[in-house]
């Protein structure tokens, strides 16, 4: 397997473009809703975070499948990798139907009990009433992404993602503001546009995979029957990753609810800064996904020596891209914030929070590279434990700060605490893993079930 800078860059670029296109869906929602009203902007923060908590359960499952696919691919067990895709997709579709039924009943009860503002609550429900149907398509998309990243065929992601965001941007404008004879649906229009664009992307993946020559190699067969043997393999890794991702975004939701108690202005500021942070995180997430896949393939090939070499190269490439962007955003914060809102007072109040958030990414790059490496070697239990310990520290910090201060910039320093905790624990685990390998004569025991 080629792990040169050029090879890593070529692998990372399609992943980044894919994530960027998905980010642009949230970006257009925020940018358009910021011009509808401050209540809609504030409500979209809670609604989208609530949606992401549930989405991350499916995403965690796909991360588990990606690890297995990468290891099977590295071990040249291509047929098994194909089975992981088909069975994983079927399981996630069944999970999506269950989630839609459950959340349609319990979401109003949960959200009414934790949201103070009645107008924000009603607006959140207008969004979620439509958005929950997107789980059928978003879960399908993340399984295909896991497959193509796992087999290091990331070029399959680019055109699909570009198509998805193009559909979303057009439909957002038409349905939010009312154009071409359609009624102005506001935040409901944003939800409907997202669901339709995801449906288009899911259909594209199905057609591409069916026609692509790699389906012969991996023998991807679509059957509406659960293979318990294959599903057991997937769940042995994926359940832990599902819990981990649910915890991460559950903590984010706690953070947003904490901010919501300080008023709609504070929540709107946090939503805008979160969206800018999400843009920067695209680079980190793309790098982390590539590290997880490359490490998984190396494990499948019984190789450990290039492990740290891969991490070092990916970190350097990520820093080369992200540092100039951080400097640019720090120098021209007002211009960046005005992309998301034309409210002058809101923009001015958001500048300190934006600058605090930017500094956290100096820590985030190595944090997620090494954290994803822990997942890539198949140590899902360790990964979950690291996340749990770090998030416990994070929530405790948010609780203490919010008790003494309502300062939004100060609350955002919780990102630094979280990233630093994950980094220290990940390095500690990897260090002990290498000691274990050396004590066994540098023999890797693969983590393929």
What pLDDT is stored for residue 446 in this prediction?
43
How far, in Å, CA of 354 to CA of 363, rounded?
A: 16
Q: Comparing C-alpha atoms, which of 426, 446, 417 is closest to residue 385?
A: 426
So what's the pLDDT on residue 435?
65
Rounded CA separation 440/146 (Å) = 31
The three-class DSSP label of residue 161 is helix
Q: Where are the alpha helices (DSSP H) in 75-157?
A: 78-114, 118-131, 135-150
* pLDDT for res 368: 87
The CA–CA distances, whole Å, from 42 to 33, 117, 118, 121, 341 equal: 9, 10, 12, 10, 12
The pLDDT, as a whole number, for residue 447 is 46
Q: Can you give the pLDDT at residue 448?
A: 44
Q: Percent of the chain having pLDDT more than 90?
A: 14
Helices marked H in 212-263: 214-218, 228-260
Which residues lie closer than 8 Å to 279 by C-beta, 6 or more apart? 23, 27
pLDDT tens series, the chain, 449 aa: 556 666 666 666 666 676 776 667 766 776 677 667 767 777 777 787 788 778 877 877 887 788 788 778 777 788 888 888 888 889 899 999 999 999 888 888 888 887 777 887 888 888 888 888 989 998 999 888 888 887 877 777 777 878 888 888 889 889 888 888 888 888 888 889 989 998 998 998 888 887 775 556 777 777 777 778 878 877 877 777 777 777 776 777 788 778 877 777 787 788 788 878 888 888 887 777 777 777 766 666 655 556 677 788 888 888 988 899 999 999 999 988 887 777 788 888 889 999 999 999 999 999 988 888 887 776 778 888 898 899 899 989 988 988 888 788 898 999 999 999 999 999 888 887 766 655 555 544 444 44
Decide: 68 and 236 in contact? Cβ < 8 Å: no
CA distances from 411 to 38, 364, 404, 405 (A): 21, 17, 11, 8
Q: Hey, where are the domains in the chain?
A: 5-439
CB neighbours of 262 closer than 8 A, spacing ≥ 6? 406, 408
The full DSSP string for 194-223 is HHHHHHHHHHHHHHHHHHSTHHHHHT----
Q: What is the per-residue pLDDT for 445?
A: 41
CB 312 within 8 A of CB 372: no
d(CA 53, CA 59): 10
Q: Looking at residue 148, what DSSP letter applies?
A: H
Q: Give the pLDDT of residue 436.
A: 63
The per-residue b/e assignment along 333-370, b for 16 or more CB within 10 angstroms, e otherwise, is: beebbeebbebeebbebbbbbbbbbbebbebbbbbbbb
Q: How far apart are CA 157 and CA 11, in angstroms?
A: 11
| CB neighbourhood size of 94 (10 A) | 13
Total residues belonging to the chain: 449
* Tens-place pLDDT, residues 190-234: 889 989 998 998 998 888 887 775 556 777 777 777 778 878 877
Q: If you write DSSP's letter for every residue of 14-29 in order, what string do you get?
A: HHHHHHHHHHHHHHHH
CA distance 158 to 156: 6
Coil/strand/helix, residue 76: coil
- Please, what is the average pLDDT of the chain? 80
Residue 368 · residue 420 · CB < 8 Å: no
* Contact yes or no for 127/44 (Cβ under 8 A): yes
Find the farthest-apart pair of alpha carbons in the chain and give their distance in angstroms, rounded: 71
State residue 82's pLDDT score: 81
Q: Which pLDDT belongs to residue 23?
A: 67
> How far apart are the C-alpha atoms of 311 and 332, rounded to whole Å?
31
Using a 10 angstrom Cβ sphere, with 0-12 exposed, 13-18 middle and 19 or more buried, the burial of residue 327 is: exposed
């Amino acid at each position: 397997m080629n792990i040169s800078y050029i090879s890593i860059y070529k692998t990372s670029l399609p992943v980044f473009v894919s994530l960027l296109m998905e980010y642009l869906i949230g970006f257009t929602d925020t940018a358009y809703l910021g011009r509808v009203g401050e209540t809609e902007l504030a409500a979209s923060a809670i609604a989208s975070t609530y949606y992401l908590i549930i989405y991350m359960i499916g995403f965690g499952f796909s991360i588990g499948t990606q690890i297995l696919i990468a290891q099977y691919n590295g071990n040249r067990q291509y047929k098994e990798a194909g089975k992981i895709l088909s069975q994983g997709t079927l399981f996630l579709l069944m999970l999506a139907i269950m989630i839609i039924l459950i959340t349609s009943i319990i979401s109003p009860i949960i959200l009414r009990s934790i949201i103070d503002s009645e107008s924000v609550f009603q607006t959140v429900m207008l969004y979620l009433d439509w958005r929950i149907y997107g789980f059928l398509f978003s879960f399908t998309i993340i399984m295909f992404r896991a497959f193509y990243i796992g087999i290091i065929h990331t070029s399959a992601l680019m055109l699909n993602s570009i198509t998805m965001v193009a559909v979303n941007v057009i439909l957002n404008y038409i349905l939010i503001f009312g154009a071409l004879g359609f009624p102005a649906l506001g935040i409901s229009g944003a939800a409907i546009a997202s669901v339709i664009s995801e449906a288009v992307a899911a259909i594209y993946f199905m057609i591409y995979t069916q026609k692509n020559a790699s389906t012969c190699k991996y023998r991807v067969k679509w059957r509406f029957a659960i293979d318990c043997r294959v599903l057991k393999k997937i769940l042995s890794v994926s359940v832990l990753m599902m819990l981990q991702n649910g915890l991460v975004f559950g903590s984010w939701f706690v953070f947003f609810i904490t901010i919501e108690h300080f008023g709609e202005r504070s929540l709107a500021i946090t939503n805008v800064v979160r969206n800018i942070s999400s843009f920067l995180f695209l680079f980190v997430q793309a790098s982390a996904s590539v590290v997880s896949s490359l490490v998984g393939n190396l494990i499948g090939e019984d190789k450990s020596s290039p492990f740290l070499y891969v991490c070092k190269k990916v970190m350097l490439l990520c820093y080369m891209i992200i540092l100039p962007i951080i400097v640019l955003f720090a120098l021209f914060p007002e211009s960046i914030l005005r992309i998301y809102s034309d409210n002058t007072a809101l923009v001015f109040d958001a500048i300190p929070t934006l600058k605090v958030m930017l500094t956290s990414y100096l820590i985030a790059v190595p944090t997620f590279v090494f954290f994803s490496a822990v997942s890539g070697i198949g140590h899902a239990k360790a990964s979950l434990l690291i996340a749990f310990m770090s998030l416990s520290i994070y929530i405790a910090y948010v609780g203490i700060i919010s008790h003494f201060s309502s300062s939004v910039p100060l609350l955002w320093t919780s990102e630094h605490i979280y990233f630093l905790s994950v980094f220290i624990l990940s390095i500690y685990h990897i260090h002990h893993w290498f000691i274990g390998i050396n004590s066994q004569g540098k023999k890797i025991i693969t983590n393929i079930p």
